[in-house]
Each structure stands twice: as structure tokens, then as C-alpha cells.
Amino acid sequence: MKWLLNNWDQVFEALGQHIVIALTSLAIAFAISLIVGIWAARHEGVFRAAIVVTGILYTVPTLAFLALLIPIVGLGRANAIICMVAFSLMIMIRNVAVGIRGVPAEVVDAGRGMGMTGFDVLTRIELPLAAPVIVAGLRIASVTVISVAVVAAYVNAGGLGTLIFNGISNDHAPKIWTGALTACALAVAADLSLARLEHWLRSRTA
């Protein structure tokens, strides 16, 4: 506790870095998933291929993934972000595609009957109605990304893992506790707030 009070600026900086790399990765993964997910919603073959490929990426152990990227991109933030994006894709592509497919055909037909173009149907009917499922995917992805970011400190990406690794190498327990508990709190907070958003969207689209 005393350590935390004396070093709160260091903790704050690590937390800030953690949030920045997590949000960057989520934003990139979201953009890719939206494109691939919309495509996959219309074509079963694309859906299957996307799930198989991203499913394998998702299975690779975090530290092994970061390590395998070192010969290609070296150490640092880019390495961590590529890894975090790769881990988010399976869940987010699946949820975008499943969410769009879950929109009742009658609603889409009604939109077409009103003279909407394909793009209008997508942006004004399908995506809004799929939003709760898409946010559910975003929720799992955000927890995954926060978890990966802890390990990514080992490849010099910064973040809360830095405190943990420094604590382990200097055998300094308060540092370990602070880093680990802050990371846990961040993951739980992200999970709960996106659960709220999901719930609110569900009540609005129901």
C-alpha cells in the first residue's frame, strides 16, 4: 500500500499505456471484423474459412504468439498489437456474422420493399439490429485483449505487465500485487461496462 501511494504516477502511466494499446487493438480488430463479418454473413464458405483460420490463431498461446512475431517485427508495441488483433478476430467476426444472420428476413424484405438500397438495409436495419450480438463479441474481445496486454509487457509494449515483471525480477511483492490487481480490475470493469451496454442495446432492439 505504501509503495502504491509513493508510486501512483508510475501505476497511472502503466494503466494509461495498457488502455491505449488495448483500445488501439480493439479498434483495428473491429474494423477488420466488420468487413470480414459482413462478407461472411452472406457466404457460408467465407464464414467457415474465417472461423477455421481465426480459430487457430485464437488457440496459439499468448506468449508463443508474441515470441513467434519477434523474428518478423521485433520487440515493441507493434508486436503486441498484431498479437492482440489476431486474438480478437475469431470472436468478433463470428459475432458480426451471426448477429447479421439473426436479423429476421421479413424485416430485411420490408426494408427492400420500402425502396432501400443494399447499403441502406445494411446500415439502417441489419447492423443496428445486430448491435447487441456485436457488442457481446466486443466484450469478450476486450477482456482477451486486456489479458494479452499484460503478457505483452515482456516484449516491451509497456502497460501493467511492466510492474508485474519488474516486481518478479526484483522480488518486490507490492509491485506485483499492484500490477496484477489493477489488471484484474481493468478486465472486470471492461466486462461489466460492456455487459451493461449489451443489455441496454438488447432492451432497445427487442
Partner 1 sequence: MLLIDAWQFIVAHPGRFLNALGTHVALSAAALTLAVAIALPVGIWISGTGRAAMAAITTANIGRTLPSLAVLALVMPVLGTGFAPSLFALTLLAMPPILLNTYTAIQQVEPDVVDAARGMGMTRAEIMRKVELPLAAPIIFAGIRTAAVQVVSGAVLAAYIGGGGLGDFITAGIAMMALPQLLVGAIPATLLSIGTDQLFGWLQRAMIPRGLAS
Q: Taking CB under 8 A as the rule, does residue 3 contact partner 1?
A: no
For the record, the C-alpha cell of 167 comes out as 516486481
Radius of gyration of the chain measured on its C-alpha atoms: 20
Q: Taking CB under 8 A as the rule, does residue 27 contact partner 1?
A: no
Chosen residue from 130, 141, 157, 187 binding partner 1 by CB under 8 A: 187
Three-state DSSP state, 93: helix
From 31-39, 97-105, 125-133, 166-174, give the range in contact with partner 1 by CB under 8 A: 166-174
Q: Taking CB under 8 A as the rule, does residue 151 contact partner 1?
A: yes
Return the percent helix, strand and coil in the chain, to nearest 5.
Answer: 90, 0, 10
d(C-alpha 198, C-alpha 105), whole Å = 23
Q: Taking CB under 8 A as the rule, does residue 104 contact partner 1?
A: no
Q: Taking CB under 8 A as the rule, does residue 191 contact partner 1?
A: yes
Q: Taking CB under 8 A as the rule, does residue 70 contact partner 1?
A: yes
Length of the chain: 206
* Phi-psi region at 115: left, alpha or beta (left = phi > 0; alpha = psi -120 to 50): left
Contacting residues toward partner 1, per CB under 8 A: 56, 59-65, 67-68, 70-71, 75, 143, 146-147, 150-151, 154-155, 161, 164-165, 167-168, 173, 176-177, 179-181, 183-184, 187-188, 190-191
